[in-house]
A and B are shown apart, each in its own frame.
Chain A
Amino acid sequence: MQISMTVNGNEVTSDIEPRVLLVHYIREVLGLTGTHWGCDTSNCGTCVVLLDGQPVKSCTVLAAMAAGHDVRTVEGLASGTTLDPVQQGFMEEHGLQCGFCTPGMMLTARALLDKNPHPDEQEIRQAISGQICRCTGYATIVRSVQWAAAHPAAGAGLGEADEVLDGTDTVVEDVATETEDSEVKA
């Protein structure tokens, strides 16, 4: 089936199987591998993206269900070469170690701050309670979000040597073929 949606401000159109999950569509068809794919069971939250501004677990949303909607991934957080305050907060306060949960954590933080610019610690902890971090013990993630809340106009420029990873060079055209015969490997 043919689907169209807006991803990080860009209109995308693809021919996919209805059973393709949003996380795989984003990673494999659009090549935006910043969205991580973890537990597959809507527990870990590393696959969180914003769907019409709300955090959702993209392993449990069909790409077809996102058609016609607005999707924002971690690649859409920075504005050009200027980091989102949440991204800078994760740098300033060491909000990550291995980085696996980070894209989902940052998107949930962005949605929280859009709705509630001055959350207290409890509200931050509650907002990220559906997402698992095995490195930080959450303390530095909470501090990173607090940093972003305290610096809403922040935004460090990326150095010239840093490549902007928007994934546009690695587009895989057709995920349907790849997933056609896959079975559950639980």
Chain B
Amino acid sequence: MQIPAPFDYVRATTVEDALELLARHGPESRIIAGGHSLLPMMKLRLSRPEWLIDINDLFELDFILRDGEDLRIGALTRHTTLLESDEVHRLFPIVRDAELVIADPVVRNRGTIGGSLCQADPAEDLSTVCAVLGAIAVVRGPGGERTLSMHDFHRGPYQTAVGPDELLCEVRLPIRARSASAYEKVERRVGDWAVGAAGASVTLAEDGSIADAAVGLTALGLDHTVEEAAGLLRGKRPSEELFADAGRLAAEACDPVADQRGPVDYKRHLADELTRRVLRRACARAAGHPDQPATPTQEG
């Protein structure tokens, strides 16, 4: 029987209350939202907080809100809510692509975007999604609010810039015209960690060429986006040759490790192939073409 070590439990009633509780109980306290990363770690004694501060009552952090040129998503927004949101899907189709393959439907009822980003697991899909979308993280602490790019937010595997007395409150996704995005993951079975995944976001110029692009990889040993691929894509017209060149750059930029999910050469192959596929789909979507039949996945 796996049971966490003893801890004290308290529920926060507001964001201010959560910050005060973090300040009072210090670095040995942890925020719990969905709990589907933290509780397994506590069962295995990989994490042993003295206090758990439950923020599930903070409905003020559970929202999806169009605000000018941003889509604001509260940190407590559940995966299921993101998956089912038509507005999110219309603006950022990469989110539904990813959410369909994040954990499983039951886990998605609990897990949150804030928890996923703060866990910063190398196989975590929403970190890649937010990175390619140019998301801004809004973090609150005793000194007030600060905003961070995903590059600054994500400090490496399981590490973020969120301090022990701070709380990730929301994620802002910049809305861009003539833009679309896509995500694709290879996993051995539903709910397993990714063997590898790729995400892409593209903005087309009026003449149909690529004005801006971002490519990111998940579980393939690359924390941030593939800058070389973005540089290659900008200013060029979408084509199979261009996608193949970008795929090759992604395979060169990544640094996967061999494990039970596959050897290094296979994972590099995935970086290449998945980059081509997500660029192809993102460009087609940005040009207004309907999706081709989905690539078969474990859930398909």
Contact present for A182 and B299 (CB under 8 Å): no
Which A residues are in CB contact (< 8 Å) with B80? 54
Which A residues are in CB contact (< 8 Å) with B298? 129
A125 to B104, CA, bound (A): 11
Contact present for A18 and B3 (CB under 8 Å): no
Total number of A-B contacts with CB less than 8 angstroms?
Answer: 96
Contact status of A42 and B3, CB under 8 A, knowing A130-B103, A184-B45: no
Among A19, A20, A55, contact of B109 (Cβ-Cβ < 8 Å) = A55
Q: Mark each residue of chain A from 10 to 23: 1 if its CB lies under 8 Å from any CB of chain B, else 0.
A: 00000001111100
Contact present for A60 and B35 (CB under 8 Å): yes
Which A residues are in CB contact (< 8 Å) with B39? 21, 60-62
Task: Please tell me which stretch of B5-13, B114-122, B207-215 contacts chain A, meaning at least 4 of its Cβ atoms lie within 8 angstroms of it.
Answer: B5-13
A185 to B191, CA, bound (A): 23
Contact present for A185 and B1 (CB under 8 Å): yes
Contact present for A56 and B106 (CB under 8 Å): yes
Does B260 sit at the interface, judged by CB under 8 A?
Answer: no
Among A21, A55, A64, A129, contact of B3 (Cβ-Cβ < 8 Å) = A21
Contact status of A184 and B44, CB under 8 A, knowing A18-B52, A42-B36, A62-B9: yes
Number of residues of chain A lying within 8 A (CB) of chain B:
34
Among B2, B9, B32, B191, contact of A130 (Cβ-Cβ < 8 Å) = B191
Does A108 sit at the interface, judged by CB under 8 A?
Answer: yes
Which B residues are in CB contact (< 8 Å) with A186? 2, 44
Which A residues are in CB contact (< 8 Å) with B109? 54-56
Does A136 sit at the interface, judged by CB under 8 A?
Answer: no
Q: Give residues in A with beta carbon < 8 Å to B.
A: 1, 17-21, 24, 40-43, 45, 48, 54-57, 60-62, 64-65, 108, 125-127, 129-131, 179, 182, 184-186
A54 to B44, CA, bound (A): 27
Contact present for A65 and B8 (CB under 8 Å): no
Shortest CB-to-CB span from B284 to chain A, Å, is 23
A56 to B36, CA, bound (A): 10
Contact present for A61 and B107 (CB under 8 Å): no
Shortest CB-to-CB span from A116 to chain B, Å, is 11
Contact present for B107 and A42 (CB under 8 Å): yes
A37 to B7, CA, bound (A): 23
A43 to B3, CA, bound (A): 16
Contact present for A129 and B110 (CB under 8 Å): no
Q: Mark each residue of chain B from 132 to 147: 1 if its CB lies under 8 Å from any CB of chain A, else 0.
A: 0000000000000000
Shortest CB-to-CB span from B144 to chain A, Å, is 29
Does B231 sit at the interface, judged by CB under 8 A?
Answer: no
Shortest CB-to-CB span from B48 to chain A, Å, is 11
Which B residues are in CB contact (< 8 Å) with A129? 104-105, 190-191, 298-299
Contact present for B35 and A61 (CB under 8 Å): yes
Contact present for B43 and A40 (CB under 8 Å): yes
Shortest CB-to-CB span from B150 to chain A, Å, is 26
User: In chain B, what residue has the closest Cβ to A128?
Assistant: B105
Closest 4 CB pairs of A and B: A130-B104, A18-B9, A130-B106, A40-B2
Which B residues are in CB contact (< 8 Å) with A41? 2, 40, 43
